[in-house]
Structure 1
Amino acid sequence: MNERVLIPRNRGFLFLDSHPAGCGQLVADMWRACPAPAVVPEGDGPVALVIGSSAGYGLAATLAGLKRVGIRGIGVSFEKAPTVRRTATAGWYRTAATADFARAAGQDLVLLNGDAFSDSMKEQVADLIEQRFGGRLDYLIYSVAAPRRTDPATGITYASVLKPIGRSNRTKTLVFDDEGVPDVREVETGPAEGDDVEQTVAVMGGADWERWIDHLAGRELLADGFATAALSYIGSPLTAGIYRQGTIGAAKTHLEATARNLDERLGKMVGGRAVTSVNGAAVTQSSTAIPGIALYTGLLRGVLGDGLVPPIRQLADLWDQLTGTAPPALDDEGRIRLDTFELTDRVQAAVAERWEGATTATIAELADVDWFRAEVRRLYGFSVPGIDYTAPVEIDVPWPAPTP
């Protein structure tokens, strides 16, 4: 037993500890927010693999797949266990809660903790599909955001960077002081240098996604009609200088090129398909690290209010499109677009006007800063309604073991 009263301590948007009960409640809230299927699936559901299943859109994909489609299969993530001094990472506790919902729904979901970039993880997953799930995989959702990747073929470790390409980028950004008071500042990021672009593409592009498909195809584990989607983001012109036109944008362009290549190959191989899914803005542990994104998301929430579509509802839509329940909402480049609520001319004009007027003095009137700050805290299990944060909580939560 290792019970503690947990007080949120943070450095900027990064929190040192996570609250197990808050993380569990967050998963429960997402489960309730996911719309139930119009027709309850009968029999064993399709076999799915979600890579990056413990956080953000990957977590939403896992929960929406369980509730909306009745998937069974495997989730892969990379989380840290609790120690004597520190709690586990938030994703560890979210994974434990996800396993509880899968078990209650009667779905066989195996959750693995390890390096998704490694060949050993790919082999472990392939063995599970073969031995536990009938040797056929129906869906693969790829949702990985990582600072570095070691290529198993070469042993070279690549590191991603958040930099503009060609010139420096100056943008507004939103921070909070120790008392939670919002502050709008301007930050400048120098341009990519040397092999920054190539390194970022090697981490965040489509190389590992394609390697997963190659590995599973080599083991003859892809079912007829197999479909795969990599989750992506385009965003607003307001953030394009640091995002879509920067090093991360180059990686997303590579991801989309990989989708087109995989789509052609899978069509010939198993009558399958590959797409990128462009999701809308959300507060995630990855997005808060990008300059300008916090300010943009807070302003967007100020414009849309409850019209800002949460990840769980977006991923329910994605599953409907992948399974054929709904027709695919594709753009001219063949990408599934789940961000249309965000990128209309009306919404972007309203956000741009607020962006122009955003200062420390005006930000509370223009953006939903209370919502944004609470969303960041909820990523780590804090500020979740219904949790008594004065009560001790057990932090030694075990990683969920597969059902027999």
Structure 2
Amino acid sequence: MTERVITPRNRGFLFLDSHPAGCARLVEDMWRAVPPPVAAPDRAPVALVIGSSAGYGLAATIAGLARAGIRGIGVCFEKAPGRLTGTAGWYRTAATAELARSQGREMVFLNGDAFSDAMKEQVSELIRHRFGGRLDYLIYSVAAPRRTDPDTGATYASVLKPVGEAYRTKTLVFADGGAPEVKEVETQPAEGDDIDQTVAVMGGSDWERWIDHLADRELLAAGFTTAALSYIGSSLTAAIYRQGTIGAAKAHLEQTARILDERLAKLVGGRAVTFVNGAAVTQSSTAIPGIALYVGLLRGVLGDTMMPPVAQLSELWDQLTGARPLDLDEDGRVRLDTWELDPGVQAAVAERWNTATTDTITELADLDWFHAEVRRLYGLAVPGVDYTAPVETDVPWPDSTS
């Protein structure tokens, strides 16, 4: 037994330990927030979620299980408990697997490098021998700092940089005592091969490689559909995001969708699309300058009408499964972010952004919500959890054979 009381330790938005019971309760709360299925499918569709343990990928997994009745495989890369606790994604995955099992949903979770051909082959074998040899859906939701190309062995690193010139912006930080501060930071522009490296990691190359791998092994069902999760965001953050190195990667991802869509239509009568999500507090987004401030102000404008990831991803599954028709924009993307980019909402956020200072920020942004959301990423500040009680930290990875 390795029970102990988890005492939060953090460096800014990064917490060193995660709380297993808090992570489990968070997963349960997300599952309960999913609307009930419109109708039970005649056959449980087989789905693969790549990046299943955090953010939108976790929401896609839970919404798929609870709303679309999927079975299948989740792939993620998490750290086991040791001297420190396991990563939050480790505990969230264990909780998701247990909840799926209790609800009669067959879901296998694999922990490893999604970029590797070894993982692709392991998934292929599972599809062939455990899930009837046919995959209906693939959701691609990967955010990673680096990727090793299986063909060349070259390792690429993604960067968060503007393109063309330095970017100076307001950003939100919390002092050691928890007091919020609005500061200005400057990020130097991309140089050398920064853009190419970021596109190699965060663009569509690995997504396309997954589709090629599965197609070559004849594992794609008739009508197979794949979706990659993307983000556009506000003009307030465009210089560091959509117009920056990450934006170049997202543009490549969307171009890959168009290529795959043509190929899959001919191959299996299938399709490929990108789903553009709205803003949320995730472990990836908090690392981007200005995003924390923007999301806090957005919540200040919208309050409880801000659409959480699990609600967005429930809509994704409705459109993928045909419960609702695919609603595509002029670039062939499904937009789940219209609530965020409504002109009136953006005007209100921009007004608050322009007047935001350390002195005014508590009046303009919902900082209690934002601070709690950051902590909940690690299983902390989840309602209904006794954080004074010892908790077992040595939680095993879900058994893939049962």
So what's the TM-score if we normalise by structure 2? Answer: 0.99
Note the C-alpha offset of 1:105. 1.4
What is the Cα deviation at residue 67 of structure 1? 0.6
Q: Which residue of 2 aligns with 1:31?
A: 31
Match of 1:119 in 2: 117
Task: Measure the CA separation in 1 of the matches of 2:115 and 2:311.
Answer: 28
Deviation digits for residues 300-348 of structure 1, max 9, x if unmatched?
A: 0000001110000000000000111001121110000000000011000
Letter in 2 for 1:60: A
Instruction: Indicate the residue corresponding to 2:62 in structure 1.
Output: 63
| 2:177 matched residue in structure 1 | 179
| Counterpart position of 2:254 | 256
- How far, CA to CA, are the matches of 1:198 and 1:352 in structure 2? 32
Partner of 1:53: 52
One-letter code aligned to 2:109: L
Provide the C-alpha distance between the structure 2 equivalents of 1:20 and 1:108, rounded to a whole number of angstroms.
Answer: 22
Structure 2 match to 1:200: 198
Counterpart in the other structure of 1:14: 14
1:266 counterpart residue number: 264
Q: Which amino acid aligns with 2:381?
A: S
Aligned to 1:140: 138
Distance 1:177 1:98 in 2: 34
Counterpart of 2:345 in structure 1: which amino acid? V
2-structure distance, mates of 1:321, 1:329: 8
Which of 324, 327, 330 is residue 328 of structure 2 equivalent to? 330
> Which position in structure 2 is the counterpart of 1:82?
81
Work out the percentage of aligned pairs sharing the same amino acid: 77
> 1: CA distance between counterparts of 2:112 and 2:276?
26
What is the CA distance between 1:403 and its match in structure 2?
5.2
* 2:22 alignment partner AA: G
Partner of 1:224: 222
**Residue 41 of structure 1, CA deviation:** 3.2
Paired amino acid for 1:35: P
| 1:336-372 CA distance string (max 9 Å, x none) | 0000000011000000000000000000000001100
Coordinate RMSD, CA, aligned: 0.7
- Cα deviation code 1:135-172 (max 9, x no counterpart): 00000000000000000010000000000000000000
| Alpha-carbon separation, structure 2, partners of 1:288 and 1:329 | 29
Distance 1:28 1:107 in 2: 15
Distance in 2, matches of 1:239 and 1:275, equals 24
Q: Contact 2:110–2:400 at 8 Å: present in 1 too?
A: no
Shift of 1:40: 2.9
SS at 1:342's partner residue? helix
Report how far residue 218 of structure 1 moved. 0.4
Structure 2 unaligned spans of 5+: none
Q: Is 2:377 aligned against 1:373?
A: no
Matched positions, count: 402
The separation in 2 between residues aligned to 1:182 and 1:153, in whole angstroms, is 46
SS of 2:340's partner is coil
Secondary structure in 2 aligned to 1:296? helix
Structure 1: 5+ residue stretches without partners: none
**Corresponding residue of 1:395:** 393
Tell me how far 1:402 sits from its aligned partner: 2.7
What's the CA shift string for 1:185-216, capped at 9, x where partnerless? Answer: 00000000000000000000000000000000
Report if the CA contact (8 A) 2:51-2:140 is conserved.
yes
Map Cα deviations across residues 43-91 of structure 1 (whole Å, 9 max, x no partner).
Answer: x4000000000000000000000010110000000000000x2000000
Shift of 1:397: 0.2
SS in 1 for 2:338: coil
Separation in 2, partners of 1:353, 1:403: 54
For 1:166 and 1:127, locate their aligned partners in 2 and report how far apart those are by CA, in whole Å: 45
- Contact 2:38–2:323 (8 Å) recurs in 1: no
Mapping for residues 206-355 of structure 1, pairs under 5 Å = 206-355=204-353
CA distance in 1, matches of 2:231, 2:14: 22
Post-superposition shift, 1:107? 1.2
CA contact (8 A) 1:108 1:403 kept: no
> Is the 8 Å Cα contact of residues 102 and 108 (structure 1) preserved in structure 2?
yes
Helix, strand or coil: the match of 1:238?
coil
Task: Report if aligned partners of 1:117, 1:208 keep a CA contact under 8 Å in 2.
Answer: yes
CA distance in 2, matches of 1:328, 1:179: 47
TM-score normalised by L of structure 1: 0.99
Q: Could you tell me how far apart the structure 2 residues matched to 1:101 and 1:320 are?
A: 21
Within 1, Cα distance between the matches of 2:279 and 2:223? 30
In 2, Cα distance between the equivalents of 1:205 and 1:198? 10
